[in-house]
Amino acid sequence: MSEREHAGGAVLSGAPTAAARSAVPANDPVSANEVAEELGVPVGTARDALRELVEDGELAHRQVKGRASALDVWYRPEPDATVDLAARVDEALAGMDVPGASEMMQSWRRDAVRAAFEHLREAGALEASSIVDAVYATHAAGYDSEEAWWGMVAPRLGQLPGVEQGEDGEPWRFSANE
């Protein structure tokens, strides 16, 4: 069977969504007309396949309004930066050397570093004392003093993606672009 069948107009055989997916460039939005032309199928067939790809989360759709009319375009969504960041943070924490006699204590201490990271990420920039004030009480991780706790957390927090360590009293910063 050929890639296309002609029975009352061109129809994609097999998986029309796979053909439509391959017709959408990695970084350029396209219209259903452009996809239909590239695949040699009716615009309705291309549009249906593109809509199915949107439902599956493989493509995104937007209506772009012009002076005279609106144009529907489909494009490949950019990877979700938060997912990538979360995976990178998980990986960094899993490989992080933390003090503690037991795996449970080490896990608590990794959790303390993660909590400090999450607090900084939400705020964007914070003084070290603000991080300690917000996180130590609920994530003491076996430390009897804030100073000892911060002594364990600070160097590890500075190793996490997107964290800019505060130098000489400067605030700690988080940048999602790193």
The reply to whether 127 and 168 lie within a common domain is yes
Average pLDDT over residues 135-159: 96
Q: Which residue has the higher pLDDT, 124 or 58?
A: 124
User: Do 158 and 133 reside in the same domain of the chain?
Assistant: yes
Note the pLDDT of residue 1: 32
Burial class of residue 9 in the structure, from the number of CB atoms within 10 Å of its CB (0-12 exposed, 13-18 middle, 19+ buried): exposed
pLDDT(2) > 50? no
Q: What percent of the chain has pLDDT over 90?
A: 45
Per-residue pLDDT reduced to its tens digit, 103-136 = 999 999 999 999 999 999 999 999 999 999 999 9
Residue 83 has pLDDT above 80, yes or no: no
Domain boundaries, position 86: 81-174
Indicate the number of domains in the chain: 2
Which of 16, 51, 75 delimits the end of a domain?
75
| Domain end marker among 59, 75, 91 | 75
Average pLDDT over residues 76-94: 79
Our CA angle for 82, 21, 59, nearest 5°, is 35
Q: Do 147 and 108 meet the contact criterion of CB atoms below 8 Å apart?
A: no
4, pLDDT greater than 80? no
For 66, 73, 82, 153, 170, the CA distances from 63, given in Å and listed in that order, are 10, 6, 25, 47, 45
pTM > 0.85: no
Among the candidates 75, 106, 132, a domain finishes at 75
Paired with 74 in beta bridges are 30, 61
User: Both ends of the chain: CA-CA distance in Å?
Assistant: 49
Domain harbouring 140, CATH code? 1.10.10.10
